[in-house]
Amino acid sequence: MVDEHGIVPIGSSEGSGSFFRSPLPDRKQGEDNAYANALAQFEKAVSHLNLKRGVVETLRHPKRELSVTFPVLMDNQEVRVFRGYRVHHSAVKGPTKGGIRYSKEVTLDEVRALAMLMTWKCALMNIPYGGAKGGVVVDPKELSTRELERLTRRYATEISVLMGPESDIPAPDMGTNPQVMAWIMDTYSMHRGFSVPAVVTGKPVEIGGSLGRTEATGRGVAETMREALRIRGIDPEKATVAVQGFGNVGSVAARIAYEMGAKVVAITCSKGGIFNGNGLDPQAVIRHVEEGGCVYNFPNADGISNEELLTLDCDVLIVAALENQITSRNADKIRAKIIAEGANGPTTPEADEILNAKGIFIIPDILCNSGGVTVSYLEWVQDLQSFFWPVEEINLKLQALLMKAFESVMECARIYNVPNREAAQILAIQRIADAMMIRGIYP
């Protein structure tokens, strides 16, 4: 039997049966299917472009998909079997780039969608990468540190046929962190016989990580939020902000927004949330969580549910949790003036229509959360040149790339008279299509 965590006990009759032959069917259908949503966004953007049908058809599909099933020795000496994926959507512009996600919710369709978004994100930022994503069906919180290390080293070995500093470079995503990247870097290096820091980004700085990488995604969210506020004529010091998700992205974005003078009035995490109309100090909430507390039992604040936070009357709604949070079921109740998509794919295409009709300014995911992969790129460049920059330089380079991309999205939105997401994707897809045609179709 495959249980809900995607785990097959060894010796299970399904072990040599259907489970090993084909990927699990995706249980998520319709508006909840991330790949269907990514494709719907793609079709919309592509309809504005005059591309060859074959180019469009190529970009609809991942270039290659690896599905792996592997055993891990648990602390109680049992062997458990896990499923993982690594999907390359496009490698036209360079090595494929994208995070690795550890979550019980991982499906092949989700990984396909996220890989496609990585292609657009890297193209939009003008960094020389294609798009990829990986995932393992596991709740990392259920494993001990030793188990997590064994799982990571085995998964890294399984996907090492694809991975490499010139071919495919993973990074952290939901459920993974710099330590997991360190294990991947070490495993790959052990197999090669020498250290290869550039095989993975988001590593600890001690082993070739970049200064500023850990907070880069949240920093990018806050920087793009500030730009959107400027465009909408709202003073950041008078802006009210609600933050869904208090992981690495949401917590850093909240902290930097607060440092910019904005009033962070609400924060939620997966277990619940808090509201204070006078403003919360995100750094104090971060400390509270680090000391073992939960967001929802932070003192001097009222409780708030996720759904209440999403529909709060505020200037900026930062969605930094999961995909498919803003759907046709709640989009018409959203009152924020600006939505900053810290997460990948937080808004469904159905919700997009509703939000656009309401005139809400969306900072699309491939722009809003691109700070992470941008500093990943800077990390990879530093690893390859074996020369490292101070954090000030990293942040300046990040800021310059982000603002250039932001400007080009605004210009494209004006030229095509389309909402921001469509504009961002039009730009990205056109760049990939141009690269495909210049390279030519082999053979």
Q: Rounded to whole angstroms, how far apart are CA atoms 67 and 83? A: 7
**Whose structure tokens read 């005059």?**
50
From candidates 86, 89, 93, 97, binder to ligand GLU by CB under 6 A? 97
DSSP letters spanning 383-425: HHHT----HHHHHHHHHHHHHHHHHHHHHHHHHHT--HHHHHH
Q: Does 99 bind ligand GLU (CB under 6 A)?
A: yes
The enclosing H or E element of 46 equals helix 34-46
Q: Does 430 bind ligand GLU (CB under 6 A)?
A: no
From candidates 140, 212, 372, 419, binder to ligand GLU by CB under 6 A? 372
Which residue's C-beta sits nearest to ligand GLU? 99
Whole-angstrom CA distances from 360 to 135, 158, 254, 332, 364 are 32, 44, 20, 11, 12
Q: Rounded to whole angstroms, how far apart are CA atoms 416 and 396? A: 30
| Nearer Cβ to ligand GLU (9/165) | 165
Whole-angstrom CA distances from 332 to 311, 353, 384 are 9, 10, 48
Structure tokens that stand for 246 in this block: 């208090």
Q: Does 342 bind ligand GLU (CB under 6 A)?
A: no
| Nearer Cβ to ligand GLU (51/159) | 159
CB atoms within 10 A of CB 341: 27
**Whose structure tokens read 């039992």?**
297
DSSP letters spanning 86-109: EEEEE-SSSSEEEEEEEETT--HH
Shortest Cβ 209–ligand GLU spacing (Å): 11
Shortest Cβ 417–ligand GLU spacing (Å): 28
| Nearer Cβ to ligand GLU (209/349) | 209
Structure tokens that stand for 99 in this block: 């995070």
Q: Rounded to whole angstroms, how far apart are CA atoms 17 and 162? A: 26
| Nearer Cβ to ligand GLU (91/171) | 171
Binding segment (CB under 6 A) for ligand GLU, from list 45-53, 97-105, 190-198, 220-228: 97-105
- For ligand GLU, the binding residues in 15-54 under the rule CB under 6 A are none
Binding segment (CB under 6 A) for ligand GLU, from list 51-59, 92-100, 152-160, 293-301: 92-100
Shortest Cβ 340–ligand GLU spacing (Å): 15
Q: Does 201 bind ligand GLU (CB under 6 A)?
A: yes
From candidates 373, 401, 402, 436, binder to ligand GLU by CB under 6 A? 373
Q: Does 113 bind ligand GLU (CB under 6 A)?
A: no
The enclosing H or E element of 40 equals helix 34-46
Catalytic residue among 133, 203, 263, 337: 133
Q: Rounded to whole angstroms, how far apart are CA atoms 256 and 250? A: 10
From candidates 90, 324, 376, 425, binder to ligand GLU by CB under 6 A? 376
| 133 given a catalytic annotation | yes
Q: Which residues contact 206 (CB under 8 A, 6 or more apart)?
A: none
| Nearer Cβ to ligand GLU (301/367) | 367
| Nearer Cβ to ligand GLU (49/66) | 66
> Which string of x and - marks every residue 120-159 that binds ligand GLU (by CB under 6 A)?
----------------------------------------
Give the catalytic positions in this structure: 133
Please report, as ranges, the residues that interact with ligand GLU according to CB under 6 A.
97-99, 171, 173, 201-202, 344, 369, 372-373, 376
